[in-house]
Amino acid sequence: MILISYDIKVYRKQLKEVLNKGDTVVELGCHVGNTSEIIAKNIKNGKLIALDNSPEAIPKMNILAKKYNNLKFISGDVRLHTTLKKAYKNLNKCDVLSVDLGGGYHPDTTFKVYFIWASLLKPKITLIRNRGLIDFVRSSKTEEVFESNEGWLESCGNEGIPPQIKEFELWSPKLNKNKKS
């Protein structure tokens, strides 16, 4: 299941509804941790890997990581191979992928980041906060049927990252071979 929202209240409500106490959650775009704290509280027996590239995130997320032993903060750009690899090494599964890269209108970066991370992590549920994606989905019609019951695009299978997304320099099967247990 993939849930798309724009309103931060709707996004957080949806998160609370899908989280289970033992879930492993990857949060892309945690900023200063307001949503991270909600996640950490709701997955008491689980694990949260929260990532953000903004300098203001570092001190606040480090404080939250001390407060919640189930939260690991990684400061890094979620578009980079090194950041994905760093997060992946801390995971044995991903139940929920939470993507909030500002929630703004332009959906291209948000979708590329979602696609790369979801192709590798194969979450059961994904939540994306982005107004542009909602507008695109609600304005679209197709005669073809592609459906996914998961939080990643099953129609892509295990193909990895298409070569046309070169700016991210990622190839998900490469990470599977390099993962340390």
What's the pLDDT band for 45 if we cut at 50, 70, 90?
Answer: very high
Q: What is the pLDDT of residue 175?
A: 46
- Cα 116 to chain centroid, rounded: 10
Q: Tell me if 24 sits within 8 A of 4, measured CB to CB.
A: no
Maximum average pLDDT range among 100-104, 126-130, 140-144: 126-130
Tokens 């709707």 — which residue? 10
- Given a contact cutoff of 8 angstroms between Cβ atoms, the answer to whether 37 and 68 are in contact is yes
| β-pair partners for 48 | 25, 71
Report the C-alpha gap between 78 and 100 in whole angstroms: 11
Q: Which pLDDT band holds residue 80 (cuts at 50, 70, 90)?
A: confident
Q: Select the more confidently predicted residue: 104 or 67.
A: 67
Res 157: pLDDT: 62
- Is the entire prediction scored with pTM above 0.75? yes
Domains in the chain, please, with CATH?
2-168 (3.40.50.150)
